[in-house]
Amino acid sequence: MKRQGMLNSHISKVLSDLGHTDLIVIADAGLPIPSDVPRIDLALTLGVPSFAEVVEAVSDDMVVEKVVLASEIQENNENTLQFMKKTFSDTEIEFLSHEEFKEKTKVAKVVIRTGEVTPYANCILQAGVIF
């Protein structure tokens, strides 16, 4: 058994397979997931696991060169926005309309669904490289 790092085998496999500029989505419980994009469903109950917990666990194991958020988060979910700015303080953050955000999820390698139930608690993480 692994001593540290990502224990979820499905997420660990996705992270290992990522190439430069590949995208993954971490989603709240309500984000529509395109039918042809693989889903890793972690949602257990309302709020469990939280968006923040999953973002922290994934970003601990992933080189992230860019984060994409829905622009609506700025007006509708200040707490999550501040968490993302703090977590990715040295990373480019791009804002798209929620509709554009949902379109961009169609090219993601995976959508990881959390139990989060606050508005616009979704992000797209673009993979970077370690060199």
Catalytic residue among 5, 7, 20, 107: 20
Residues 6+ apart with CB under 8 A from 36: 106
Q: How many CB atoms lie within 10 A of CB 129?
A: 10
Residue 36 labeled ligand binder: no
Preceding omega of 119 cis (within 30 degrees of 0): no
Q: Calculate helix-pair angle for 51-61, 9-17, nearest 10 degrees.
A: 50
Residue 120 marked ligand-binding: yes
Q: Which residue has the tokens 């609506």?
A: 72
Does the annotation flag 28 for ligand binding? yes
Q: Is 61 annotated as a binding residue?
A: no
Active site residue 10: no
- 98 has binding-site annotation: yes
Q: How many helices (H) and strands (E) does the chain have?
A: 5, 6
- Annotation: binding site: 28, 98, 120-122
Annotated binding site for substrate: 28, 98, 120-122
Catalytic residues, which ones?
Answer: 20
